[in-house]
Amino acid sequence: MPGFELFGDLERAEVNDVLDNGVLMRYGFDGMRKGHWKAKELESELTKAFDSKYVQLVSSGTAAVTVALASAGVGAGDEVIMPTFTFVASFEAIMMLGAIPVLVDIDATLTLDPKSVEAAITSKTKAVMVVQMCGSMGDMDALRSVCDKHNLIFVEDACQAIGGSYKGQPLGSIADIGCFSFDFVKTITCGEGGAVVTNHKDYYINADHYSDHGHDHVGNDRGAETHPFLGYNFRISELNAAVGLAQVRRLPEFIQIQKRNYTIIREALSQIPEVEFRNVPEGGVESYAFLNFFLPDLDTARNVSEAFKQNGIDACFHYYDNNWHYIRKWDHLKNLKSLFPISKEVKEGLKYLQTKTFQQSDSYIARNISCLIKMSWTQEDVENRAKKMADIIKESCHIVSY
């Protein structure tokens, strides 16, 4: 991760194919494109990669979450349970539909705690969205049981976990509807892009229409298509899809490289008693895009994070002090700083953030360091990096112990 590190002849050939053809839009212009349909090809490849019946490409991972929720019927006044640790796009997508994000604690998986989910359910709850952060997963069986018990829509945001699996099933394909991101820093990239994944035909049809202004895509005259319902423009372009088409065919290669690099670093850090790794549910296989570990306390994590930076260990994140990925610094959400008036229902629904604390989440995120696994590293690079990381952690833990 990310896939742009290994751009090569395959990506160039697919992009040049689109440029030579001249049709950059995924819909229409049938006569001009001479049979070239990169988005359709990529959707077909992704159904195989995700072992799912239906895939709808969209313009981003954020768009994927928005379209997925809308396609499942989430809207004004509905509550959607989501984790405190995610990307800001999670609550943005919910609020865009006039729904209310209900944040709950994570557990040692760094994803939704099923007990916290159950405790947050109200008569307004419509969906539960697990976010498979940093290449791994939550307790999918327990979360599914909660959703089934309360008749809730189960949404899976696997934007950071392509290539991971749970009990043999690809992450992103396990819930009722799933979401992926193919932005510039994902394991496979389109530059910008995303996908909605599902085995429910109705959800797929809704996603297909909703992401393209409500077009029903019946026939071969775009101007004559009907609009069964309102929609918006969340389309991907043929150029973006072309890059993704080359990249998805390389996914096994990418995962193999990530696994090698991840394993070298993990083995080095596993020799340190103070290091504890995130919990991966039984039957789960990470995508190896990140290595996540816990240190004894907040001060140690901050010391190690700073020492990593000072010693050239890049792409390691201490999310407790991060503005993008953890509730602690989402002041624009807590204070509802918006360019447009927010509905009364959402204002009322988010009042809980003024007083709500997330001590369980704090206990994990404060101690967690998440290290991006790059594919451009040589084995020697990784081995040197692993040794340097281990030495820094040992020194920091020794300092804190006195």
Q: Would you call 3 helix, strand, or coil by DSSP?
A: helix
Q: Would you call 81 helix, strand, or coil by DSSP?
A: strand
Contact of 373 with 1, CB cutoff 8 Å: yes
Side chain identity at residue 3, one-letter code: G
SS (H, E, C) 135-158: HCCCCHHHHHHHHHHHCCEEEEEC
pLDDT, position 399: 46
Contact of 301 with 276, CB cutoff 8 Å: no
In the chain, CATH 3.90.1150.10 covers: 252-400
Beta-strand runs (E) in 272-332: 276-277, 284-285, 290-294, 316-317
List pLDDT tens digits, range 1-55.
899 999 999 999 999 999 999 999 999 999 899 899 999 999 999 999 999 999 9
Side chain identity at residue 19, one-letter code: L
In the chain, CATH 3.40.640.10 covers: 3-250
Token readout for 111 is 């994803």
Contact of 80 with 99, CB cutoff 8 Å: yes
Mention the CATH class of domain 3-250. Answer: alpha beta
CATH code matching the domain that covers 252-400, chosen among 1.20.1530.20, 3.40.50.2300, 3.90.1150.10, 3.30.1160.10: 3.90.1150.10
pLDDT, position 398: 74
Q: Give the residue from 279, 289, 309 showing the smallest Cα distance to 396.
A: 309
Neighbours of 68 (CB within 10 A): 33
In degrees rounded to 5, what are phi and psi of residue 14? Answer: -70, -40
Contact of 238 with 18, CB cutoff 8 Å: yes
CA atoms within 13 A on the CB side of 70: 25
Which residues of the chain are under the pLDDT cut of 70? 399-402
Q: Which residue has the tokens 């969205």?
A: 129
pLDDT, position 248: 98
Distance CA 132, CA 111 (A): 6
pLDDT, position 388: 98
Q: Give the residue from 346, 268, 385, 383 showing the smallest Cα distance to 77.
A: 346
pLDDT, position 400: 43
- DSSP conformation class of 163: T
> Which residues on neighbouring strands pair with residue 233, listed in sequence order?
212
> Which residues on neighbouring strands pair with residue 368, listed in sequence order?
294
